[in-house]
Chains A and B, each alone.
Chain A
Amino acid sequence: MIREEAIKIPFQYAAGTAGSEFLINLRDHRQLTGSRCSDCERTLAPARAYCPDCGREGLHSVNIGPGAELVSWTIVPDKGVFALVRPDGADTAMLHKLLGPIDDPQPGIRLQVVFREERSGHINDIEGFAIVQENGE
């Protein structure tokens, strides 16, 4: 015999200090935020409370983007295109969506963050990253 069930339990996930700052800046300022580590002298994207390499806490926040560079992508049928993008001013990449139409993406192509009109302090306040057309559109 098989019993069927669907687990559906509401959760509340705390974003933490750096995560909250990142989300608030998306919502209120259409701004991407990174964190600067003075030990390894890297700017991490997105913002975080500690450096994953050094373990250093108390990183200071810096504006990154809105331009970005494509690092990697994967096309997932029915879900769209996930991408690793490195915002300008950052040394690491963040994961989000690549907005279409996408003919032949290449590593290093220029992107621009696209924000939603309706924002609530959520990672999906970013609609995704769009390819910057060569004619500057």
Chain B
Amino acid sequence: MRTIRIAGVGETGPVQQDRRSIPEMVLGAVDLALADAQIGHGEIDSVVTASVDLFDGLTASNIAVTEVVGAVMKPEARIAGDGLAATVHGACQIWAHAYDTVLVVAHAKTSMAANGKLTQWAMDPIHLQPLGVNFSAAAGLQANVLAQHDRHAEKRWARLSCERRAAGTSGMAKKLSQSEILASEITTSPLRNGMCAPLGDGACAVVLQAGSNAGGPVLSGVGHDLEAHGLGDRNLVHWAGLTRAFDRACRVANLPPADARFDLAEPSCFYPHEEELFLRATGIDGGTVISPDGGLMAGCVPVVAGMSRLVAAFKWLRQTGNAGKRALVHGHWGPAGQAQAVAIVDGGL
């Protein structure tokens, strides 16, 4: 199988509000990634984008960014979900020998409209939309299942949120103490305002290229998976879809899923209970560094979320002393983690 090098990354945000237009914001991330990879638009063979129409207030939201991602007169595919799922598809294009250099781009601007209103329209239109249920309510229902037989859950989640907020550097998340988080207003019980990842605007771009690991971190395994849409059809105590996505990624990377070791984990957690679901689904334990930059709980752009974790892992692996180490990257999308994506990144030589 071909080795896929992560040749360059670029990211704008997360920021509370990016006053630029969506194409300008996306162009900012693409320019940074191309400069990082030291290539020009002409060397990109194919583009995979991730965006969600309703978030952009625009049907076929990829049409607006075609030019800035350099996709004019080139093949482009669009994923309406997390950017890490777009990365999975970009990697498959290279493994299939279809293309050598693939640009993957994700964007969202939550400042454009009320996110809680938008995610209501991602729910089943007959049984769920008319009730007013959205992704936040779905997260509350899942967190409640976990908290029912766990008296300490809320205190533990508040402490984790406090730590993740404190580690953030984007300025998106207000630093809050554990007791301030426990006293913050209920959003969807048992979740409180201080436990929710602050949402903002941003774009992210990654250049994937067939090559060797001599040039830096490589994408050595990917996997993704979907669960049933209905929350009542699932066992909400587990992210079973994540376990399956993780097993697939491990198989691609020739790692034993039950015994795979990671130096770094970059989970996509919009809420603290999701980090516990991530650890349970992947078997990650205390020997792994988790989200040293605070992860999504320190500032988050939906859709970009999983790709921002890939960029964080890439930057960590490029730091002095981390060459040869291994990272696990995670993204999810849909109510209560219905869709799951995983990438395994190995540091270069």
Contact = CB atoms under 8 A, between A and B. Distances in A.
A77 B186 contact: yes
A84 B131 contact: no
A29 B194 CA distance: 45
Contacts, number: 92
A65 B90 CA distance: 47
A74 B232 contact: no
Contacts of B40: none
A19 B127 contact: yes
A5 B54 CA distance: 13
Interface stretch (A91-99, A110-118, A129-137): A91-99
Interface residues of B, number: 32
Interface stretch (B7-15, B137-145, B241-249, B314-322): B137-145
B21 to A, nearest CB: 10
A31 interface: no
Contact of A82 (B131, B230, B236): B131
Given A13-B126, A15-B126, A124-B130, A74 B230 contact: no
Interface in B113-155: 125-128, 130-133, 136-137, 140-145, 148
Contact of B232 (A23, A73, A95): A95
Given A74-B188, A84-B141, A52 B228 contact: yes
A38 B294 CA distance: 48
Contact of B144 (A44, A73, A123): A73
A107 B148 contact: yes
B228 A82 contact: no
Contact of B127 (A7, A44, A82, A95): A95
A96 B131 contact: yes
Contacts of A83: 141
B185 interface: yes
B126 to A, nearest CB: 5
A7 B126 contact: no
B141 A72 contact: yes
A22 B33 CA distance: 51
Contacts of A122: 130
Contacts of B137: 74, 76, 79, 82
A95 to B, nearest CB: 6
For the complex of A and B, the 10 pairs showing the least CB-CB separation, nearest first, are: A74-B140, A93-B232, A75-B189, A52-B228, A13-B125, A74-B188, A72-B144, A72-B145, A15-B126, A72-B141
Interface of B: 57, 125-128, 130-133, 136-137, 140-145, 148, 185-191, 228-233, 236
26 contacts: A15-B126, A19-B127, A44-B233, A46-B127, A52-B229, A52-B233, A74-B140, A74-B143, A75-B189, A76-B188, A77-B187, A79-B132, A82-B141, A83-B141, A84-B141, A92-B230, A94-B232, A95-B127, A95-B133, A95-B230, A95-B232, A107-B148, A123-B127, A123-B128, A123-B130, A124-B131
